[in-house]
Amino acid sequence: MYLNHTTGDSTDYKSAIAGMAGIQAAVSFNLSENWILQPSFVTYFDFGKQLETAAGTEYSSKYHGVISNICISLIRRIGEGNAIVISATNFSQSSGAGSFNNLTAGYIYSF
């Protein structure tokens, strides 16, 4: 059960099915001993169907579309397996969400 933001009522899921199929490719370029440049590309076909009940009314919805992203990451190795990562990504969806960009920074700690 969850709150349906469209109707303001609580909603019960009756059933849901979803899936995806796609490809991913990435290449790593060692710029120096400690720097790596890694471009990548992901694209997949996303599909689903759900049946839910809100305020005594049953709703059915289906969706499908192509989702893809192009990313470039700059990685700086630090010590024994640790790294700092900065990534810029462009996401796009054909199912109505449009396109947006994302900039991410992170630290990878090796145990």
Q: How many CB atoms lie within 10 A of CB 99?
A: 10
Per the model's pLDDT, the better-predicted residue between 108 and 8 turns out to be 108
- Domain count for the chain, please give it: 1
Q: How many CB atoms lie within 10 A of CB 75?
A: 20
Q: What is the pTM of this model?
A: 0.66
Q: Are the C-beta atoms of residues 76 and 107 closer than 8 Å to each other?
A: no
Q: What single-letter amino acid sits at 28?
A: S
Instruction: Report the C-alpha gap between 96 and 98 in whole angstroms.
Output: 5
Q: What single-letter amino acid sits at 49?
A: K
Instruction: Assess whether pLDDT exceeds 60 at residue 1.
Output: no
Choice among 16-20, 71-75, 82-86 with the minimum mean pLDDT: 16-20
Average model confidence (pLDDT) for the chain? 85
Q: How many CB atoms lie within 10 A of CB 69?
A: 19
* Domain that includes residue 13, residue range: 2-108
